[in-house]
Amino acid sequence: NAGVTQTPKFRILKIGQSMTLQCAQDMNHNYMYWYRQDPGMGLKLIYYSVGAGITDKGEVPNGYNVSRSTTEDFPLRLELAAPSQTSVYFCASSSEETQYFGPGTRLLVL
């Protein structure tokens, strides 16, 4: 079991560029989540999904989009990157309650 995997580990984007952060889990979990963590802060929920084909907004969804076409994958799309999106992005999954986190993607927007 690889658990929750995220790619890339680190990326530098220019303002206005777009990119997709990949997240995959091999635990057959229905629930998946995207969080961002700014320096010295806790995590804030961006989007979440309770199953394939179902997504919903979290606390800070502006500037992001998600899709959930399969149980395993939950990509996060950034359109028109802005410096305010510089952060560490964590993907998580759960079968019911305990959430398991990926290692994170560090994103720098310049």
Partner 1 sequence: KQEVTQIPAALSVPEGENLVLNCSFTDSAIYNLQWFRQDPGKGLTSLLLIQSSQREQTSGRLNASLDKSSGRSTLYIAASQPGDSATYLCAPGMDSSYKLIFGSGTRLLVRP
Cβ closer to partner 1: 13 or 36? 36
> Smallest distance, Å, CB 64 to partner 1?
15
CA neighbours closer than 13 Å in the CB half-sphere of residue 88? 13
Distance of alpha carbon 76 from alpha carbon 26, whole angstroms: 18
CB 13 within 8 A of CB 110: yes
At closest approach, how far in Å is the CB of 83 from partner 1?
21
Smallest gap from residue 15 Cβ to partner 1 (A): 25
Left, alpha or beta for 97 (phi > 0: left; psi -120 to 50: alpha)? Answer: alpha
Where along the sequence are the contacts to partner 1 (CB under 8 A)?
Answer: 31, 33, 35, 40-45, 48, 50, 56, 58-59, 90, 92, 94, 96-104
Q: Which is nearer to partner 1, 13 or 47 (CB)?
A: 47
